[in-house]
Structure 1
Amino acid sequence: MDCWPSTAAAETTTPPSGVIQSISTRATKGDCARRCRQSACLRIGRAGPTIGPVVGPDPFAGMRRPVVNRFRCGTRLCVLLTMLAVAVGTQAGAAQPKFGELAPARIAEIATMLPETPRGPGPRIGERAAWEAAAKAPAFRKVVPQAEVLLKEPIPDTTDELYLDYSRTGNRDRYQRVLFAKMNRLATLVLAECLENRGRFLSAIDATLRAILEQKSWVLPAHDGSLAVFKGQAMEIDLVAAATGANLATLDWWLGEKLPAETRRRIASELERRIFQPLENMVRGKARPYWLTVTNNWNAVCLAGVTVAATTAIPDRQRRALFVAAAEKYVQNFLDGFTPDGYCSEGLGYWNYGFGHFVLLAENVFQATGGKIDLYERPKVREIAQFGHRLEIAPGVYPAFADCHVGVQPDAPTEAMVSRRFGFGWKDVEARGLLLASGPSRDLFAVGLLAFPNSASRRPPAAASPQREVRTWFADAGILICRPAGDPQRALGAALKGGHNAEHHNHNDVGSFVVALAGHTPLVDPGAEVYTRRTFSGQRYESKVLNSFGHPVPRVAGQLQATGRQARARVVKTDFTDPADTLVLDLRSAYPVKGLQKLQRTFVFSRQGAGSLTVTDEVGFESPAAFETALVTFDPWTELGPGRLQVGKGASAVRVEIDTQGKKFEVRAEPIREDLPGRRIPVRIGIALAEPVTEAIVRLTIVPAGK
């Protein structure tokens, strides 16, 4: 177990007088900076010993892309360029997203690293020692019983009517629910057959395979806005198509001649038509290279799936090398989407998905080239690999910033891989996620790469587990994680957010915060909504959970925060010591309010006793204007008396003391009625000054209610 925590040495940084530091590190251009990042996420699908539905953010939010020819001028080219700019958040000071032809000499060099014939991830079904060991592993014990149940059930039917539902209603869930059930069915049946090798699941595997091969589109309806793929007018690769290609190549590698010859021929022809030719067209400039150049999770996810399919199923070594060369070149765009300190502005769920697929890509390329290409060695990967670990406020508690869901935790197999590869010494997560402990997955290629001996498992474990520090300061991103010095079950922790309002999967949330106590978050950033067409459109910030109304930040002169990179927090001061951490932010640029002379938010996190968090807002106007701040919670709350609130229940309840320097105020609670996972309804507890002011100080002091 990681030790919790040690008291780090004091660290204080104060800018010179009159200097305000920017904590924003991503750049966008023009109006595109004021629009949402259209990218996507899927948890890799490991949920203990079962192959179940995906949890976390809606798995496949994404770019609704018009079908255009990148070489045409005029309106279509403008649409394409705008789409790419919206989809890409670039890191300030870093190179712009890269695209260009692959070097023939590098392709030839990579070809010499590859085996003469392709090899897929993991052992084939005839390698019984490996599969029999998996059958005995606790994480895989439920696979065969689940497959036996599926034999009695029909194949989920992804009808044309369901596919067209999104284009008619904007609802993503109805089609995706059926599609994922079909994919889960296939993965469960294949794993069960490999585990027991008795042939009793082969017929059902073949029938399910044929149903997938017959689909008009492997692309999600939400990613086929013009229906060009559905109508056969175009062939594109999205997140699901890439994963489908990798899974079909993997199961063909595993089962081989146990599948009917005609089915195997059909797998090969569909991989060629739906995956290999489209990717070659992209890298050769014959089709738009949209996800090759984006800096979000689409890049790593699609590259991982396509590259696994290629290294597993393409007979020609030179052609296989082209796909590896493309992965080697273009995955740098994904890495460029992180700040230098490794912060993932898409949120923890998207780190699981995007960086989790980077790990799969890196492992596949490492294995395919005999270790001659090691993407783990890229600059910044070590920092990115620690993001989930460093984001933890208290054991098992993480902030749901951006499009993340409350309760999401880092993916154990991903963390186990990087812990062993980099020698981090996270022994508890290695025990839960390395090799067969990683468990089954809807992504069969992930099972092949993670559950069996790999580049991580072949390295020795670190000698000792590191001791958890009392804070993590993502200086480039402007995020501060404050941990208690004592027992995290009894003492307060917090996550404090600066940043800007043009991040990947952006929420307008500059100045937001989360409070943790006793394994729970009584005061929250409420996280992502259930995705619909509105979520990734010009109406994104009509959502009260995505605009600043749904976050614990001020409302100034009746105005919510603006969208765009110009709406950002600027660091005025940081002061990190053993007893307390102080972060001072200037929030003026986040509010389009004329005459706003000052808006400074000061966080002071104290580790004394059971801990406390003080949030102080200082505001000044040229002429009187309204001002209010807010708390957000999913928990019950009550007013204990004038200026005193209690939020939460039991050991995780907190008490909030409100100090307005004598100015009258009102507490106004409003449910935020948006569609959140589990139909949960957060409440915004507004604390509004009763009269317009020219200057004011509003201070909230948050302490455990039991103290």
Structure 2
Amino acid sequence: MTDTTPRPTLRAPLTRAFSAQLGLRGDVDLPAALRSLLATPTDALPVVPASAWQPGEPDPATLAAMSARAHAERGTAWPQPLASDAARYHGDGDRLAWETPAFARQERLTRVAVAATADPAMLGDVVDGIILLCEQSSWCWPAHDDSLQRHGSVLATVTDPYLDLGAGEVVGQLAWVDQLLGDQLDARYPGVRARIRHEARVRVFEPFTRRRDWHWLGLDGDAHNWNPWIHGNVLVAALRLLDDPSEADERARILALVIEGLDRYVDVLPEDGAIDEGYAYWWNGACRLLEALDLLTHATGGRLDAVPSIRALRETVAFPHRMHLGAGWFVNAADGQAKPSADQPWHSLHRAAVRAGDLDAQRFAASHRRPETPAVVEAEGLGRVLRGMTDAAWLQARASAPPAPAATWLPSTQMLVARERDSSSSGLSVAVKGGHNNEHHNHNDVGSFLVASDGVPVIVDAGRPSYDARTFSERRYELWPMQSEWHNVPFVAGRGQPTGPEYAASVIEVTTGETPSLELELAGAYDVAELESWRREVRLDRERAEVSIHDAWRFAQPGPAAAPAPAATPTAAPAAGPGCANRQA
């Protein structure tokens, strides 16, 4: 499909870095360069087949835990996503009815694949899981499919598959199964691997190369977390599953498209490494990018390694610990949760931090390592599970005190995070953001702040509800958590903040020293003609152990009532009156 829409100029930081590493000049024939660099399909992924594992090489705790769960559910029915539940998205808007069993099916396949590395009797269960996925009408999550718009169908159109996060996750999982157990599948179940390759071609490789209008490519300059998440899975699949000698050119072309796509995400990743979707989305955005680049480094024998040479990549490795408040609580923005699951792929952060030379990020990742417990969980996906349970550096890592920066200023998102005590989550912490109201997973929250005591939020951002059909539609701002009225921002002349990139803050002054503070001009975040200025200053006084929020406003003429919004707390929302306000927490 040809798209003639004008596109922003791509700076191509990845391609430029790779060209420099390879000594290439001028126009680069990337597919040709890749073909000569890439390892063979059997060696391209950084986990050897299970038949080559040495005793004790994979993490024993992970192997034991997943094997126990896999054996316990043998003989039970596999989770079955239903067509009627897929159609519900276009009816009552429910996403979970279909997604819950679909995700559970893939998690079960991960468990049985790991279990089969130690017990060949589990290989039949692996085949059952593979074929169930191959016979599933669509790998695309119903909430993402464009079948209704293109074909008038509330169910997936199997002749026109949509390549989304779900399809990427399935093809990536099948590629990792093939890498892990392919020789055993050939010996006992010949033909299964050919089926995997057929489905990968029809559902992923052909749509990926045929349709170049995917919104997640970032052709309009707006690359979000789908970009590295999907490209990373296409990368895994192409490296492993395009293994016929006749497919060598195709393999190199697809990998060149992957690099071009990842380049668009790197191109918009700010130099300070911040993620406007917040910490919770870092794991499926910037982290997916770092994982994909790590795979490219391995598949090219170390010849292509962008992380050390690109500042944004090095800085984003620090983003998780910069957003940490304490005890599993994080600064949450947009749709991010304040206390997401602790079961994250910490090994991925650890690996990236080692490559970036960031000792604080290594410490933060290692602070989550518990040698007596599994190194990974199956919800991470098979690829992440295999990387984590076979990464010697991660398995040998030992927990240490996590870093706690005294103050962090991220100019790209206009966010300040400051602590009462350097290197400690005890005492008060404050976070305040400016930004604009067209951020990814946006809430209308320009000027919002939160306060934590001993790492636990006490003045909070409410977060988001469970996703449904309204969440990413024109009805998004019907949902109360997305409205500015439910954030800690001013309510001006009876109005909250509108949506759009033009509704933004400007930074007046920021200080990260002994008394960290951020002063913002918020008038631009409102559609109130009479409002000339609304300045908000958030300050942490370490000596007095006090956070103060000072609002001062000016109208062109007297009239409309205005007030700071009540502060959202876990239990109450105290009222505030008009005038200049100085609140302390």
Q: What band does the TM-score fall into relative to the shorter chain?
A: 0.7 to 0.9
User: What residue number does 1:534 align with?
Assistant: 470
Identity percentage of aligned residues:
26
Q: Please list the CA deviations of residues 488-512 of structure 1 after superposition, one character each: whole Å capped at 9, or x if unmatched.
A: 4641111111111111111110110
Q: CA deviation at 1:419?
A: 2.0
Q: CA deviation at 1:487?
A: 8.4
Is residue 549 of structure 2 the alignment partner of residue 618 of structure 1? no
User: What residue number does 1:415 align with?
Assistant: 349
User: What residue number does 2:570 align with?
Assistant: 635
SS at match of 1:183: helix
Q: Please list the CA deviations of residues 108-134 of structure 1 after superposition, one character each: whole Å capped at 9, or x if unmatched.
A: 11111113444344121211316x432
Runs of 4+ in 1 over 6 A off after TM superposition: 96-99, 434-437, 464-467
User: What residue number does 2:101 align with?
Assistant: 178
Q: Distance in 2 between matches of 1:108 and 1:168?
A: 48
Equivalent pairs counted in the alignment come to 550
Q: Distance in 1 between matches of 2:210 and 2:423?
A: 56
User: What residue number does 1:223 align with?
Assistant: 144
Q: 1:523 aligns with which of 446, 449, 459?
A: 459
| CA 390–467 in structure 1, closer or farther in 2 if over 3 Å, else same | closer
User: What residue number does 2:113 align with?
Assistant: 190
Is residue 310 of structure 2 the alignment partner of residue 378 of structure 1? yes
Name the stretch that deviates more: 588-597 or 313-322: 313-322
User: What residue number does 1:471 align with?
Assistant: 407
| CA 592–427 in structure 1, closer or farther in 2 if over 3 Å, else same | closer
Q: Distance in 1 between matches of 2:91 and 2:327?
A: 44
Q: Would you say the 8 A contact 1:393–1:482 is kept in 2?
A: no
SS at match of 1:142: helix
Q: Please list the CA deviations of residues 209-237 of structure 1 after superposition, one character each: whole Å capped at 9, or x if unmatched.
A: 21111111100100114345712241221
Q: CA deviation at 1:469?
A: 3.4
Q: CA deviation at 1:558?
A: 0.1
User: What residue number does 2:238 align with?
Assistant: 310
SS at match of 2:76: coil
| CA 487–326 in structure 1, closer or farther in 2 if over 3 Å, else same | closer
Q: 1:326 aligns with which of 257, 268, 275?
A: 257
Is residue 77 of structure 2 the alignment partner of residue 154 of structure 1? yes
User: What residue number does 2:131 align with?
Assistant: 210
User: What residue number does 1:292 align with?
Assistant: 217
Q: Which aligned pairs between 1:657-696 and structure 2 lie closer than 5 A?
A: 684-689=573-578, 696=579
Q: Distance in 1 between matches of 2:92 and 2:403?
A: 51
Q: Would you say the 8 A contact 2:407–2:416 is kept in 1?
A: yes
User: What residue number does 2:167 align with?
Assistant: 241
Q: Which aligned pairs between 1:540-559 and structure 2 lie closer than 5 A?
A: 540-559=476-495
Q: Would you say the 8 A contact 1:147–1:192 is kept in 2?
A: yes
Q: Which aligned pairs between 1:240-259 and structure 2 lie closer than 5 A?
A: 240-259=166-185
Q: Please list the CA deviations of residues 262-318 of structure 1 after superposition, one character each: whole Å capped at 9, or x if unmatched.
A: 222211111111111122224xxxx42432224111110001001101101112333
Q: Distance in 1 between matches of 2:12 and 2:499?
A: 22
User: What residue number does 1:701 align with?
Assistant: 584
User: What residue number does 1:112 align with?
Assistant: 36
Q: 2:329 aligns with which of 393, 397, 400?
A: 397
Q: CA deviation at 1:688?
A: 3.7
| CA 483–403 in structure 1, closer or farther in 2 if over 3 Å, else same | same
Q: In the alignment, residue 701 of structure 1 is paired with which amino acid?
A: Q
Q: In the alignment, residue 48 of structure 2 is paired with which amino acid?
A: P
| CA 115–598 in structure 1, closer or farther in 2 if over 3 Å, else same | closer
Q: Would you say the 8 A contact 1:493–1:517 is kept in 2?
A: yes
Q: Please list the CA deviations of residues 576-610 of structure 1 after superposition, one character each: whole Å capped at 9, or x if unmatched.
A: 331x122111100111112112211111111114x
Q: Distance in 2 between matches of 1:226 and 1:597?
A: 47
Q: CA deviation at 1:162?
A: 1.8
Q: Would you say the 8 A contact 1:394–1:493 is kept in 2?
A: no
SS at match of 1:534: coil
Q: Distance in 2 between matches of 1:551 and 1:492?
A: 20
Whose helix proportion is higher, 1 or 2? Answer: 2
Q: Which aligned pairs between 1:575-594 and structure 2 lie closer than 5 A?
A: 575-578=511-514, 580-594=515-529
Q: Please list the CA deviations of residues 538-573 of structure 1 after superposition, one character each: whole Å capped at 9, or x if unmatched.
A: 111122210101100110000101211211111112
Q: Would you say the 8 A contact 1:291–1:298 is kept in 2?
A: yes
Q: Would you say the 8 A contact 1:328–1:375 is kept in 2?
A: no
Q: Distance in 2 between matches of 1:557 and 1:394?
A: 37
Q: Higher relative CO (CA 8 A, sep ≥ 6), structure 1 or 2?
A: 1
Q: CA deviation at 1:152?
A: 3.3
Q: Would you say the 8 A contact 2:350–2:394 is kept in 1?
A: no
Q: Distance in 1 between matches of 2:547 and 2:367?
A: 35
SS at match of 1:605: strand
Is residue 79 of structure 2 the alignment partner of residue 144 of structure 1? no
Unmatched tracts of structure 1, length 5 or more: 1-68, 72-76, 638-683, 690-695, 703-707
| CA 428–352 in structure 1, closer or farther in 2 if over 3 Å, else same | closer
Q: Which aligned pairs between 1:451-466 and structure 2 lie closer than 5 A?
A: 451-453=389-391
Q: Would you say the 8 A contact 2:165–2:229 is kept in 1?
A: yes
Q: In the alignment, residue 228 of structure 2 is paired with which amino acid?
A: A
Q: Please list the CA deviations of residues 311-367 of structure 1 after superposition, one character each: whole Å capped at 9, or x if unmatched.
A: 011123332222222222221211233322111001111111112211221121111
Q: 2:210 aligns with which of 262, 278, 281?
A: 281
Q: Would you say the 8 A contact 2:486–2:568 is kept in 1?
A: no
| CA 488–379 in structure 1, closer or farther in 2 if over 3 Å, else same | closer
Q: 1:127 aligns with which of 29, 52, 77?
A: 52
Q: Please list the CA deviations of residues 611-634 of structure 1 after superposition, one character each: whole Å capped at 9, or x if unmatched.
A: 111111112221222122234445
Q: In the alignment, residue 143 of structure 2 is paired with which amino acid?
A: A
SS at match of 1:584: strand
Q: Please list the CA deviations of residues 632-685 of structure 1 after superposition, one character each: whole Å capped at 9, or x if unmatched.
A: 445234xxxxxxxxxxxxxxxxxxxxxxxxxxxxxxxxxxxxxxxxxxxxxx44
Unmatched tracts of structure 2, length 5 or more: 16-26
Q: Would you say the 8 A contact 2:41–2:241 is kept in 1?
A: no
Q: In the alignment, residue 267 of structure 1 is paired with which amino acid?
A: I
Q: Would you say the 8 A contact 1:434–1:451 is kept in 2?
A: no
| CA 557–545 in structure 1, closer or farther in 2 if over 3 Å, else same | same
TM-score (norm 1): 0.72
Q: In the alignment, residue 320 of structure 2 is paired with which amino acid?
A: G
User: What residue number does 1:663 align with?
Assistant: none
Q: CA deviation at 1:254?
A: 1.3
Q: CA deviation at 1:96?
A: 10
Q: Would you say the 8 A contact 1:415–1:433 is kept in 2?
A: no
